Amino acid sequence: MTLDKDTVDQQQQHAHLKPHPCPTCGGQSGFDFLGEQRWPERLVEKMGVGPVVTLWRCRDCDTTITVDT
């Protein structure tokens, strides 16, 4: 059995941020962690986002959403 340690660590690190339920379809099946995105400082100030958001994909409708960390 082989495990990708980096992937496992990342999943655990962001597990508590998991959005739920899906804002698009209302599904309760959960989300798959896609990765995290870091916004440029200029955009953070202008749009009030981030600076780091996590990306999630709904298992029901494949919608990708972002969650502020």
Rule CB under 5 A: which residues touch Zn ion? 22, 24-25, 27, 58, 60-61, 63
Q: How far is the CB of 36 from Zn ion (least distance, A)?
A: 20
Nearer to Zn ion, 44 or 63 (CB): 63
Determine if residue 29 is left, alpha or beta; phi over 0 gives left, psi from -120 to 50 gives alpha, anything else beta.
Answer: alpha
Tokens 């941020």, located at residue = 17
Nearer to Zn ion, 44 or 53 (CB): 53
Q: How far is the CB of 39 from Zn ion (least distance, A)?
A: 24
Residue 32 near residue 7, CB atoms below 8 Å: no
